[in-house]
Amino acid sequence: MKLVRYGQPGREKAGILDQDGRVRDLSGIHADITPELLAPEALSRLRGIAPESLPLVDEGERIGPCLTGTSKVVCIGLNYRDHARETGKPIPSEPVVFMKATTSISGPYDDVVLPKGAEKGDWEVELGLVIGQKAQYVAEEDWQRYVAGYCVVNDVSERAFQVERGGQWVKGKSSDTFCPLGPWLVTADEVADPQNLELTAEVSGEIMQAGSTSEMIFDCAHVVAYLSRFMTLLPGDVIATGTPAGVGFARNRFLKPGDSLRLSVAGLGEQRQQVVAHEDRRS
């Protein structure tokens, strides 16, 4: 299944894609794509619904982030050898872990807003894992029991905040709109091999990243098991598994207002964003 959320920010409703790729209204059965809906039993019941029996959603509706109720976004840094090399960092011996604030979550087609003082905005296309069951001390061979599905993540960064301002990476990763999710949450049964998916990122018509999840240093099984030793993973949590080479930081090419972004992971859909400057408005 490909689950989707549509509607204006804060008022999104649940949807599901039919076999022709059209959004159908699921909100009469489930109001929204919440952590409770990601449990195996709930997803099993959902598979019994024929999307074609549901009302069509207007094609003009905004598509929101593909789930709500996320308690944390956990990211794995330097998880592709070519990306580690392009940043001048050694290949990590253990996963590099950092977080993004949940307030950074935005829709897959929403604008990416460069924050006040931004100098070095950057892009990172990533495979996102969406947790479906509470996970603690998971064995690697059992990791798939805990993953409800997958989505595209753009781990937008402000490298000057991240690298040049001291402290931890989180402040360069957490500005509003810095975590577009979706367009779809694709349930795990539709992804035959999450370690064999192509990822691409294009900036203003130029392909910047082209890689495969087969190139991860630490695969999905290891990442889920590893994280579950150090924190409880809850339904709705998102794990961003790292990015291949081609980021702006390595190219000395940073985002500026007017840039456009297109990011995709095979089978999980495509994101499209415009980059805009922060506007100083009274709240």
Q: What is the DSSP letter of 177?
A: T
Q: Identify the pLDDT of residue 281.
A: 35
Cα 146 off chain centre by: 17
Q: Identify the pLDDT of residue 179.
A: 98
Class of residue 153 by CB neighbours under 10 A (exposed 0-12, middle 13-18, buried 19+)? buried
Q: Identify the pLDDT of residue 168.
A: 87
Percent of the chain with pLDDT over 70: 99
Name residues whose C-beta falls within 8 Å of residue 23's C-beta, 6 or more positions apart in sequence.
4, 6, 15, 16, 17, 56, 57, 59, 61, 63
Q: Which of the residues in the chain have pLDDT under 70? A: 280-283
> pLDDT digits over 132-177, tens only?
999 999 999 999 999 999 999 999 999 999 989 888 899 999 999 9
Q: Identify the pLDDT of residue 282.
A: 36
Cα 154 off chain centre by: 6
What CATH architecture does domain 69-277 belong to? Alpha-Beta Complex (3.90)
> pLDDT digits over 94-143, tens only?
999 999 999 999 999 999 999 999 999 999 999 999 999 999 999 999 99
| Tokens linked to 236 | 């709705």
Q: Identify the pLDDT of residue 279.
A: 79
Are the CB atoms for 105 and 68 separated by under 8 Å? Answer: no
Q: Identify the pLDDT of residue 20.
A: 97
Residue (of 247, 268, 282) closest to 180 by Cα position? 268
Strands (DSSP E) along the chain, which ranges? 2-6, 13-17, 23-25, 73-77, 96-100, 105-106, 112-114, 121-122, 125-131, 147-154, 157-158, 179-180, 185-187, 198-203, 206-212, 238-240, 260-265, 270-277
The whole-angstrom separation of Cα 159 and Cα 164 is: 7
pTM higher than the cut 0.85 = yes
The whole-angstrom separation of Cα 132 and Cα 278 is: 35
Q: Identify the pLDDT of residue 283.
A: 38
